[in-house]
Amino acid sequence: MLSLKRIRWGAAVLATMAGLAQAQPLQPPEVAARNYLLIDLNADQVLAERDADAHVDPASLTKLMTAYVVFEAIKDKKLTLEQTLPVSLRAWAERKGGGSLMFIDPKMKPKVDELLRGMIAVSGNDAAVALAEGVAGSVDAFVAMMNRQAQAWGLKNTQFKNVTGLDEAGHYSSARDIATIAAHIIRDHPDSFATYYSIRHFAFNHIKQDNRNLLLGRDPTVDGMKTGYTDAAGYCLVTSALREFPNGKRRLLSVVLGTTSREARASESQKLLNWGYTAWDAVRLFDGGKPAVKVPVWKGTQSEALLGAAKALFVAVPHGEGDKLKTVIERTDPLVAPLAQGQRVGTLKVTTAAGTAITTVPLVVQQAVPEAGLFGRAWDSLRLWIK
């Protein structure tokens, strides 16, 4: 009969498993924003939040999802960066909406690359509409694609009604959902993220505009990501920063919503990022694809299986406490061949000594274990029966 076997790892197995007194929760700085969220993307761990699941008007942060759907269409070869797109009367009519513009008109045929720059760097509503029509044929069809993507990611607090972020009944998101969209851009489309989200200035049709993300010019580690403003939303900013540390690069993502000015959204975001980097340490527990433990395996061509995390495992811990963690593995016992590489056979949990959970990840087989021959299987069956 299969059972769940729990194993606590000692310091001899992993140096980061020494005892720890109960760690006190870290208090974030006072942030002058209605909602905010700070995530360590290496560890996939929330460091601080306020009302992160509340429905909010997302303003032009909406264009994060608009961009993601366009990036997916480019990846799927439904359009190319060099392809030109027509400018419809609907896109041109965005001039009357009072929002940010790239300043395109129906006499122009801008390239997809230019439209992406106009939508991302200077938040052009007209560029967003032109891209939506170029991908889906109509804005309404594109909005449906945005909502399907949100549903596929399980975003329970997001519903899109337009591609620009202008205030509209039923158009809403949350700080956590916005962070999820931003993280998918960074992870799923790293080249596009690097190309477009750090642009500081954009010129089109002899009109030069500055990126409204003030942190791009203040903090050299900030490499994106998106601003937003409407009367209902207030001043909003999603910020990505990548800083170098002795154990590698570490990326933080902040979402700050509902501040009172451009300066406030920049300064409050900077405050959160600085706190995240100084008050928290990133600890690399395991390398991806490398075994963390050897365990017995039955009826296989080998007697032991190598188990570990599927990818490199990072955790964020309060500064100075990286050597005071405890890891527990829970796995099925006995393990019986055949075992496929990547097969999940349990979980790996990282906690404080007092048992406060930090993270839980699947425990997977690192190298396949084929089934033994008839005699080997029969012999292990007898041994298991005796055991």
Q: Which among 121, 128, 80 has a CA at the least distance from the CA of 104?
A: 128
Instruction: Give the β-pairing of 234-245 and 248-259.
Output: antiparallel
Q: Which helix (H) or strand (E) holds 272?
A: helix 262-279
Which has the closest alpha carbon to 349: 286, 294, 288? 286
Neighbours of 255 (CB within 10 A): 32
Distance, in Å, from the CA atom of 339 to the CA atom of 345, rounded to the nearest integer, reads 9
Q: Please report, for residues 130, 132, 231, 255, 324, the alpha-carbon distance to residue 163 in angstroms, rounded to integers and kept in the order given.
A: 10, 7, 18, 19, 47
The burial of 12, by beta-carbon neighbours within 10 Å (0-12 exposed, 13-18 middle, 19 or more buried), is given as exposed
Instruction: Find tokens 């790293």 and name the residue.
Output: 190
User: Annotated active-site positions, please?
Assistant: 60, 63, 123
Which amino acid does the sequence have at 33?
A
87 residue type, one letter: V
Cβ distance 350 to 285 under 8 Å? yes
Measured in degrees and rounded to the nearest 5, phi and psi for residue 137 equal 90, -30
DSSP 95: G
Q: What are phi and psi of 217, to 5 degrees?
A: -100, 0
Give which of 252, 230, 226 is closest to 238, Cα–Cα. 226
Identify each DSSP E strand in the chain by its residue range. Answer: 3-8, 35-40, 45-50, 201-204, 207-210, 222-230, 234-245, 248-259, 280-286, 293-298, 304-308, 313-318, 326-333, 335-336, 344-351, 357-365
Q: How many CB atoms lie within 10 A of CB 104?
A: 27
Backbone phi and psi for residue 281, each to the nearest 5 degrees, phi listed first: -110, 145
